[in-house]
Structure 1
Amino acid sequence: MSTTLLSFEHITVRHLQQTLFADLTFRVEQGQNWALIGKSGSGKSALLDTIAGNFNIMGGRVSYPGLEEVVQQHTATDPFLTPRKLIGRVGAKYAFRNLSNTTEFYYQQRFNAHDSEDALTVQGYLATIQSYADEPFWTYERTIDTLNLGHLQQQQLIKLSNGETKRLLIAAALLKNPLLLLLNNPLTGLDKQTRAAFDDILTAITASGTAVIMATSPHEIPSSITHVAELESGRIVATSTRQAFQARQPVTTELPPLDTEELRALLSLTTAPAFEVIARLENVSVTYGGKRVLDQISWEVRQGERWALVGPNGAGKSTLLSLLNGDNPQAYGKQIKLFDRQRGSGESIWDIKKQIGFVSPELFQYFPAQNTCLHVIESGFYDTLGLLRKSEAANAAVALRWMRVLALEQYAATPFRQVSASVQRLSLLARAMVKNPPLFIFDEPCQGLDAGQQAHFKHVLDTICQVSNATLIYVSHYQQEIPASVTQTLQLEQGRRVQT
């Protein structure tokens, strides 16, 4: 077999009328496993998509010698085999379809009992994955065991937590028994225990003969990675061995300046209403298909308090948040008070949502992409998924000011689908802030942001908490991502409250 798995020589890559790479050269030899690092928008995800064959390559030379040899060996038995089928990929977004294979899932579907059943189970989904190996190393049993999915086999896909979904996607990619596995920030959304185990998982993957190329943080490079490529503005500016890269002195991140006076001015545009109790739950339980997801949860959040909501993947955090933000119909009939009002006493979902600025991984997955970034942010005034009405000049002006605060102004007129995942996530954060609500619910808001963006966002949020009476509920699997303004913690494990 050729010692070269893939070779790009002086290629130009275009997508959606944009030039992503010009004169790009990148080569992967057998036995090498690469980490792609760089600031958000530097081209890491685009390079993975280019390798996967998803973008147009113009000029230069492209070859996959190692993969093409395997294709030639199977010409008689599988004339439709291509190098692309020998590549597994786990991206930043996923696209599951319902049982009738007519539509993709929609936001809020997991909390609606009837619609949530219109989905394959974990076992059913993985059974659809085809392996192209003659003697597959990654069997169903080995994959399920390695990714700790055994207890989830009969669970519908839509009911999985964000971290459980990430493990499922890695499992699906492995079941193809790929020669090359592409991972886009695979640790995103995983709890501390699963992240710690991921190093062993990746070691097992590379030991099986699968080469790995992964986009990741420079602070989370697994031990089985052999080489590092640093990207900047669509260029590979440096390559090195992992040992040589880690031996360098860390670079201090320079943060963009924060206009504190402008932030104060934006917060003063509206007066947030005063409440005694933002949220109160008394012995609240939620059950799906016989499984108790939340078990006798009691919790009170008063105005001006800042809470961290923590716990492992599948602990019930997203379900708890769905009871607060109006997305879960099981909130009716339970002892839940929101904004000084008993849930189910005549208020509408929109009465609740207008008091909340909300961001979650699910919102990112299902948010429509046809608007510009400015229109996405303006939609926060109306609590709609995208701008579904004519833009209002006054609200658009405020949205643009928020874009300046979050260093997003240059993307105002750019279609949401054309910007990097990090800019999309920051736009959704601005959308949550734009109406200055009394309650912010941020579920893993820093996913996909580089270190500088994370630090800047935390600075903005801490400043908001210093100069206003905003209430905050903040979810993260990384302790360093939790803002300094957070002073209280609710910890969940297996749907139960754990005393901390």
Structure 2
Amino acid sequence: MSILSVQNITVKSLQHTLLNNLSLVVEQGQHWILVGASGSGKTVLLNTLAGLIKPLSGAIELDGISSKRITLVTSKHHFTDKTNTSTNMYYQQRYNSSDSDNALTVAQFLQSKQPENAENNPWTIAKAVTLLKLESLLHKEVIKLSNGETKRMRLASALLTHPQILLLDDPLSGLDHQTQHDFDGILQEIIATGITIIMSGSGYEIPSPVTHVAVLQQGTITKTLAVKAYEPENELPTQSINREALETLTIGYPASSFEYIVKMSNVGVKYDEHVILNNINWQVKPGEHWALFGHNGAGKSTLLSLINGDNPQAYANNIVLFDKKRGTGESIWDIKRKTGFLSPELYQYFPTDQSALQVIESGYYDTQGLFRPSNVARQAKAMEWLKALGIDQYARQLIKHIPASAQRLCLLARALIKAPDLLILDEPCQGLDKQQRQHFNQLIDVIMANTGCALIYVTHYANELPSCIDKVLALKNGEVVSMDEV
């Protein structure tokens, strides 16, 4: 018996067709994964099933299920403050104790999501917290969570709504190895309470409770099949790289004149009595290319915030950045001018009315969006980056309307346009498919080969690093557990 029937739906935005004559039938007891390249329509389909997007044509029929009992968990969050009125959160707020006090804690956030009448709901806060291992995070403000911690919390909050169909947009990306390993069991417990799962993913990591696969391509489903009959493509076509254009843009980067890009001595960070980093000793010199590993909540983001000028606790520590000790007169903008930064989370804080060109040009000013008249020469340089990265067709489009892979390359160009001495890439390939991850890392190899730029690259996947990585730092529970040459 079918519980959900999607019949020939078409979805358009402006002049772009996002879904084209798409059909799908989900039967009782089935659990689906939507696979396909970034931009193929997976997220659009999930948003349409959730009722957030209305089809131009076609129909979605539910049998025995209320549309109010369909819950979507996306990668983009919309946190409010304690008054539940302001969503005006900013990226650095998580590191400023006086400002982050305005944010809800995990416990308060979950309490706010629990329906008033929850008598027949098998999902209590206690049960959701236990399943998603949130006990140690209950005191923590939501904006201080890592990407993986945020995903676990938002999944817990979704369960509190007692859904009949749970839609998960790329739930495995950004999770550490342990949480990914545990994810099969998490889904099994969710399914055991009568919930149907429809999720998106890469197709290379399919949780065992999933029964069926729908393959999307250019906004339509090209085939559906049982998961046991599905085999992802092992050999993916390589995307071309405009090496000549990239070399032209980067070959003139001045060689770094600093002895130390980063020098940390016995660095520690704590909030109230909660230790985030303890006794960190680390040096990054010009031209070194580091990988940074650690589980969700290991302290990676906090460590990066000390380097990127976002965390005021840097002043209470012995930290040297670009040969200058923090607190000896340098400004945050002096640090940011020498640092290029990319994070999928950073995209959350960009205004929605910015074009790809504006986003890249904003890199000159280290602002999250362009808030001044465009400079002709700098806009021209931004366009050169778009062409070199092969995404110039998106130049005038709003960044929210372009594929995730192109969004990520825009943020890369934004980080590089000012010729930084240090490039920080915090899980830059999160949410990209296998081919796009390979392409991104090949771009990084070409760019690093033509600059003296130091690199810090954060990922959970040791087998998906750029070839240029030559050193590794691993954190566990806020402490260094290994520091090795590759």
Residue identity matched to 1:52: A
Per the alignment, residue 150 of structure 1 pairs with 135
Per the alignment, residue 38 of structure 1 pairs with 36
Q: Does 1:230 align with 2:215?
A: yes
Residue identity matched to 1:484: S
How many residue pairs get aligned? The number is 481
Closer/same/farther in 2, CA of residues 101 and 133 from structure 1, 3 Å limit: closer
Closer/same/farther in 2, CA of residues 423 and 146 from structure 1, 3 Å limit: same
Q: Does 1:442 align with 2:440?
A: no
Residue among 60, 63, 66 paired with 1:62: 60
Q: 1:323-342 to 2 correspondence within 5 Å?
A: 323-342=306-325
What is the rounded CA distance, in whole Å, between the counterparts of 1:150 and 1:24 in structure 2? 42
What is the rounded CA distance, in whole Å, between the counterparts of 1:254 and 1:270 in structure 2? 31
Q: Which moved more, 1:384-393 or 1:419-428?
A: 419-428
Counting aligned pairs with the same residue, the percent is 48
Per the alignment, residue 362 of structure 1 pairs with 345
Is the 8 Å Cα contact of residues 15 and 55 (structure 1) preserved in structure 2?
no
Q: Does 1:127 align with 2:111?
A: yes
Tell me by how many angstroms 1:431 deviates.
Answer: 1.0
Tell me by how many angstroms 1:412 deviates.
Answer: 0.8
Question: Which secondary structure state, in structure 1, belongs to the residue aligned with residue 112 of structure 2?
Answer: coil
Is the 8 Å Cα contact of residues 162 and 361 (structure 1) preserved in structure 2?
no
Per the alignment, residue 74 of structure 1 pairs with none
Per the alignment, residue 278 of structure 1 pairs with 261
Q: Which moved more, 1:481-490 or 1:418-427?
A: 418-427
Tell me by how many angstroms 1:425 deviates.
Answer: 2.2
Q: Does 1:115 align with 2:99?
A: yes
Q: Which moved more, 1:380-389 or 1:268-277?
A: 268-277
Is the 8 Å Cα contact of residues 425 and 448 (structure 1) preserved in structure 2?
no
Is the 8 Å Cα contact of residues 15 and 56 (structure 1) preserved in structure 2?
no
What is the rounded CA distance, in whole Å, between the counterparts of 2:388 and 2:40 in structure 1? 21
Question: Which secondary structure state, in structure 2, belongs to the residue aligned with residue 388 of structure 1?
Answer: coil
Tell me by how many angstroms 1:227 deviates.
Answer: 0.7
Per the alignment, residue 10 of structure 2 pairs with 12
Is the 8 Å Cα contact of residues 191 and 312 (structure 1) preserved in structure 2?
yes
Residue among 108, 120, 138 paired with 2:123: 138
Closer/same/farther in 2, CA of residues 409 and 56 from structure 1, 3 Å limit: same
Is the 8 Å Cα contact of residues 10 and 22 (structure 2) preserved in structure 1?
yes
RMSD: 1.6
Is the 8 Å Cα contact of residues 379 and 385 (structure 1) preserved in structure 2?
yes
Q: Does 1:163 align with 2:148?
A: yes
Per the alignment, residue 204 of structure 2 pairs with 219
Is the 8 Å Cα contact of residues 381 and 435 (structure 1) preserved in structure 2?
yes
Q: Does 1:239 align with 2:224?
A: yes
Per the alignment, residue 386 of structure 2 pairs with 403
Is the 8 Å Cα contact of residues 242 and 389 (structure 2) preserved in structure 1?
no
Structure 1, gaps ≥5 residues long: 68-82
Question: Which secondary structure state, in structure 1, belongs to the residue aligned with residue 91 of structure 2?
Answer: coil
What is the rounded CA distance, in whole Å, between the counterparts of 1:402 and 1:335 in structure 2? 37
Post-superposition CA distance 1:137-188 (Å, at most 9, x none): 2222221111001111121111211111110011011111210000011011
Post-superposition CA distance 1:87-139 (Å, at most 9, x none): 12110200010001232122111001101111111111111223576522222
Per the alignment, residue 187 of structure 2 pairs with 202
Structure 2, gaps ≥5 residues long: none
Residue identity matched to 1:336: I
Per the alignment, residue 480 of structure 1 pairs with 463
Per the alignment, residue 71 of structure 1 pairs with none
Is the 8 Å Cα contact of residues 253 and 451 (structure 2) preserved in structure 1?
no
Question: Which secondary structure state, in structure 1, belongs to the residue aligned with residue 261 of structure 2?
Answer: strand
Is the 8 Å Cα contact of residues 266 and 279 (structure 2) preserved in structure 1?
yes
Question: Which secondary structure state, in structure 2, belongs to the residue aligned with residue 154 of structure 1?
Answer: coil
What is the rounded CA distance, in whole Å, between the counterparts of 1:360 and 1:295 in structure 2? 24
Q: 1:371-386 to 2 correspondence within 5 Å?
A: 371-386=354-369
With the length of structure 1 as denominator, give the TM-score of the two structures: 0.93
Question: Which secondary structure state, in structure 2, belongs to the residue aligned with residue 379 of structure 1?
Answer: helix
